[in-house]
Amino acid sequence: MAELFKESEDQIVHVCGHRGFKAKYTENTVHAFEKCFETGAGQIETDLWITKDKELVVSHDASTKRIFCDKEGNPTDKFIPKVDFDEIRDFKTIESGERIMRFEDLMHWFIGYSDRNPKRLFRVMLDIKKGNKPAATKLIVQKMLELRPDLQWWVDRVHLGIWDLRVARFLNQDPFFQEVYEKYGPTSAPFDVFHISISWEDSMHYLDYNDYLDDTYTGDRWVFKVSGVSLLYLSTWSCDFLHTFLPRLEEQNSKLFCWTINRKDQLNFVCQIRSASSLPFVGVITDSPDVMIDALEQHDIDKEHRSEYKTTSSTRLIAKDAIHLTFNKKIFNKIFTVLTKLLSPKRVTIEETKFNSEVDGEYALVFKPSKISTFVFSSCQKLGLF
């Protein structure tokens, strides 16, 4: 493996396989995850839903319709949050015939795979969908510690991806998490928590929450900050992102993922961000980890152009002309911004931003996307944008 991909935080970018290796293998399956790691990528991203009887299930969609059939091969359409796991236990993927996985199954495989490859540090990003209850995070931590009672091992390897600010608040409010750290700690740090976002403006609320935590919590306790943002790449194609949001990330020493990066020109832009900023960690989430790994190994932007992208200003963290933002990128960003505001105007609710109000861990947000937004989203998925 090239030196570029040693697991150090100062490598140019980290490569994370979107649902494993989505471009070539059935998403969210062990086969896809293994093939992703075989490319040299160090991380996989996967999705979780919680069933009515509180079983964590690996699936991107809340419905089983798109990916799963029953054991006889018939179509299915079960809404995972509304059924017990026994109702879907025998479902299998339509493409490859692999059985639907519980989170427990995934982590059991992950432990074994990591132990068989001790010279590499593998990571998992858990995408905890917005329709889940905040208390799903307790089940995640409980299950991991049942499988391996070593909190530091999990902290080093698992990122919690959230769409709902209430989840971050729940992590700090529920005594369970303090008790876990007292029992299994100390650790070097809390779990990395990433806001998964389609808009940097939405993510600003999460950075504001970090400021609130700094002002509120003092003394001997663990504080769960939002340590990074996983941002749809189209949202990065703007001057406002570069000059307003990126400096905020740097001020908080935050990490950044961009998704879904599948083309070399998209990757090149992320590499420019990496080189021009002082962020401690930059990664891409991709359907094609093999393409990203090959591109980075063949074109080491970090070594060739770091001085070109670095700013010499001590008062400005990002040089105005350091990152090449083309006219086409600006246009695509404007169109995307208008569409998202029209189709999904209330992505961060007032309730989420009441930082000091108590979170009901058993309450899941109910959201019903419009037919237009569903069509736009599914079309973008087919085009490889998401």
Residue 109 scores a pLDDT above 80? yes
Q: Are strands 92-93 and 68-69 parallel, antiparallel or unpaired?
A: antiparallel
Rounded Cα distance between 39 and 49, Å, is 28
**Can you give the pLDDT at residue 385?**
59
Residue 315 scores a pLDDT above 80? no
Average pLDDT score over residue span 278-286: 97
Rounded Cα distance between 224 and 181, Å, is 11
Rounded Cα distance between 14 and 166, Å, is 28
What's CA 133's distance to the chain center, in Å? 17
**Can you give the pLDDT at residue 322?**
74
Amino acid identity, position 94: I
Q: How confident is the model at residue 342 (pLDDT cuts 50, 70, 90)?
A: confident
Q: How confident is the model at residue 302 (pLDDT cuts 50, 70, 90)?
A: very low
**Can you give the pLDDT at residue 5?**
34
Residue 21 scores a pLDDT above 80? yes
Average pLDDT score over residue span 1-20: 65
Residue 316 scores a pLDDT above 50? no
CB 58 within 8 A of CB 106: yes
**Can you give the pLDDT at residue 306?**
36
**Can you give the pLDDT at residue 25?**
99
DSSP character for 219?
A: S
DSSP character for 158?
A: E
pTM: 0.91
Closest CA to 238 of 152, 151, 335: 335
H helix count then E strand count, the chain: 14, 11
Collapsed DSSP state (helix, strand, coil) of residue 192: strand
**Superfamily name and number for 3-382:** Phosphatidylinositol (PI) phosphodiesterase (3.20.20.190)
Residue 344 scores a pLDDT above 50? yes
